[in-house]
Amino acid sequence: MAAIGFSFAIEEICLVLFTTLAPAGACALIVLSLIALRRVRDGAVLKRINLFMCVPLAVTIVGLVASTAHLGSPANALYVMCGVGRSPLSNEVLSAVLFLGIAGLYWAYSFAEHPRIAVQRAWLAAIAVTAAVFIGFVAVAYSYETIVTWNTPYVPVSLCLNGLMSGPLLAFATLQVAGVCPCGGRLGKVLAVASSVALAANLVVLGLQLGDLAGMGNAAGPALARAPLAVPSVVLYGVTGAAACVLAGLQAWGRVRPALAKSLVALTLLLAGLFAVRFSFYMMHMTAGIGL
């Protein structure tokens, strides 16, 4: 049973990367868009934020490019669009294209010699809205009645909380790269606390999901036998996530000297734990009846 779970997760490794990176990048862009909206009249700060929006944008694109390997060929993405409105996958792809298109065009527009403040405000708001819609469609893309281990309310909630935890830490690091240091002020503290709250909430949700998983199975056997990494991955996620939040918090409250390297270590720890959770999620794949 465990061998089947490992095999399935390895086959879906591209989707593991996608669901690890894309929500993080999208949520970070929401954070940066909201910050930019508040600082839209501060030309120097806004210019720096706009310039380095390419960081979470690139993270999201890497995740999306990885997901195209799941389709066998990137060209098959065109056929996926045929199911818009009735297929969760098609809705997910459409929302990704819309979100990345709006974010990418805004980033290009930000290099205009005299960008209009009103246009930037509307565009930033559109980025935040389409990013939230994209995360929502990613979250519900696994709600299939025939896959009993995925068709639970905990799965979409957990995916959203993944983004809400990793996004602020990615935004934290991006602001440091941009020279708009979030440390020592209210902004850094808000980002660190937001990630910590999302981590705590997600651990509760993942615990409830494991509780449900313990009672699931089909003719092939119990669900937990398929995913022996389910519990260890949640523990790892809790440990690495807590370490990441503590490291960000120590910088935000001025307990240690702020440094981009520390923020990158925190982000790496978090994404490693998140990757483990997503990997075990795909190991859980179990259909109703006698299917694998």
pLDDT in tens, 23-68: 999 999 999 999 999 887 777 888 999 999 999 999 999 998 888 7
Statement: residue 146 has pLDDT above 80: no
> What are the boundaries of each domain within the chain?
2-283
User: Quick one: pLDDT band at residue 79, thresholds 50, 70, 90?
Assistant: low
pLDDT for 114 equals 86
Nearest-CA neighbor of 60 among 157, 163, 154, 136? Answer: 163
Distance CA 174, CA 172 (A): 6
Query: Which of 64-78, 177-191, 219-233, 241-255 is predicted most confidently?
Result: 241-255
Q: Maximum distance among all alpha carbons in the chain? A: 65
pLDDT for 1 equals 53
Q: What share of the chain has pLDDT > 70, as a percent?
A: 88
pLDDT for 78 equals 63
Query: Which of 37-41, 126-130, 285-289 is predicted most confidently?
Result: 126-130
pLDDT for 2 equals 61
Identify the weakest region by mean pLDDT among 3-17, 93-107, 159-173. Answer: 3-17
Mean pLDDT throughout 101-107?
95
- Cβ neighbours for 267, distance < 8 A, ≥ 6 positions apart: 166, 169, 170, 173, 244
Q: Tell me whether residue 225 is exposed, middle or buried, using C-beta atoms within 10 angstroms of its C-beta: 0 to 12, 13 to 18, 19 or more.
A: middle
- Cβ neighbours for 251, distance < 8 A, ≥ 6 positions apart: 183, 188, 192, 258, 259, 262, 263
Distance CA 127, CA 85 (A): 22
Statement: residue 75 has pLDDT above 70: no
- Cβ neighbours for 230, distance < 8 A, ≥ 6 positions apart: 210, 213, 224, 280, 283, 284
In this structure, CATH architecture of domain 2-283:
Up-down Bundle (1.20)
